[in-house]
Amino acid sequence: MYVRPSAAAAAAFLGFTLTALGGSATATATDPGSPAGRPGVLGPVVYAHRGASAYAPENTLAAVDAALRLGFDWVENDVQRTRDGELVVIHDDTLARTTNAEEVFPDRAPWRVRDFTAAEIARLDAGSWFDPAYAGARVPTLREYLDRVERNRQRLLLEIKKPELYPGVEAQTLKVLEEAGWLDRGHVQRRLVVQSFSAETVRIVHDLRPDLVTAFLGTPKVADLPKYAEFTDRINPWHTTITAEWVAAVHGLAGAHGKTMEVDTWIVDDAVTARKVRGMGVDGIITNAPDVVRQAVIGGFAG
């Protein structure tokens, strides 16, 4: 778990970091031309989980921009669907934790995303729970989110969340990506990965768009890894569930695109754990505090 700073402290930190970085907007450790994002000599790729969510409310456009200001081009998000069929970016399948839905709609418990229209969700404050400085931040639609990531020239690790609640969400997600211009050669090869905890969803995405890089969230047994390699390129596990031997077993297989399979682990927010998983040979680290992890896994090499 990370300790959320105040908005003032976060703003001051972001300003300091930008000065130190010279305002760089590209701080991945890999060759940016590598379609699979394999790590270079500097260490694993760092992904800003739900945006830079240690410093701005998760899955909002503010969190995307915070990642950019910190110098990170890879952001991760979560996709769910409203009652009227709009895809929105929010982690939980209910609105209660990260919006003021309980206040605005007191009689609509348990405030499930799928029970509200996109217009109703657009009324909600998705920032004040994090810090009053973010009052008025909204739950973005997927299209709004894609447009912001595109404007920022960032890259996206997109998670299809709870697909069992939203039949057909895989094809719908791809449709929105297509309409937003995210399924052309440049985006598909260098700027987009689609992941899910559902192996079936990952398989569906692969079948619909075999050119897309996909990832399965979880830690399959070594004996089962070849099955996953048939339809995915990455296995993305919780960091407490892996060993160096397991990572090596994943790397020993070629994924759906014939390239060495990757391991991007989550959620790592402290330097000690970041260095530990780097030592295991992971290819990427998904984190709420990307600056902390970058310093640990990249700055550590300089030391």
257 part of the active site: no
Find out whether 226 and 254 touch, Cβ atoms under 8 Å: no
Spatial CA neighbour of 214 closest among 255, 176, 178: 255
Does the pLDDT of residue 22 top 70, yes or no? Answer: no
49 part of the active site: yes
Q: What is the pLDDT of residues 204-247, one digit of tens each?
A: 999 999 999 999 999 999 999 999 999 999 999 999 999 999 99
Q: What is the structure's pLDDT at 286?
A: 98
Q: What is the pLDDT of residues 102-135, one digit of tens each?
A: 999 999 999 999 999 999 999 999 999 999 999 9
The answer to whether the peptide bond before residue 110 is cis (omega within 30 degrees of 0) is yes
CA distance 246 to 222: 7
Q: What is the structure's pLDDT at 43?
A: 87
User: What is the reported pTM?
Assistant: 0.87
- Say which of 49, 187, 206, 239 is annotated catalytic: 49
Task: Summarize the confidence of residues 86-106 as an average pLDDT.
Answer: 98
What CA–CA distances, in Å, run from 262 to 234, 244, 257?
A: 5, 13, 12
Q: What is the pLDDT of residues 147-173, one digit of tens each?
A: 999 999 999 999 999 999 999 999 999
Give the chain's mean pLDDT: 89
Name the E strands within the chain. 45-48, 74-81, 87-89, 155-160, 192-196, 213-217, 234-236, 262-265, 284-287
- Say which of 91, 187, 206, 239 is annotated catalytic: 91
Does the pLDDT of residue 38 top 60, yes or no? Answer: no
What are the start-end ranges of the H helices in 139-224?
Answer: 142-151, 169-179, 185-190, 199-208
Task: Summarize the confidence of residues 4-26 as an average pLDDT.
Answer: 37
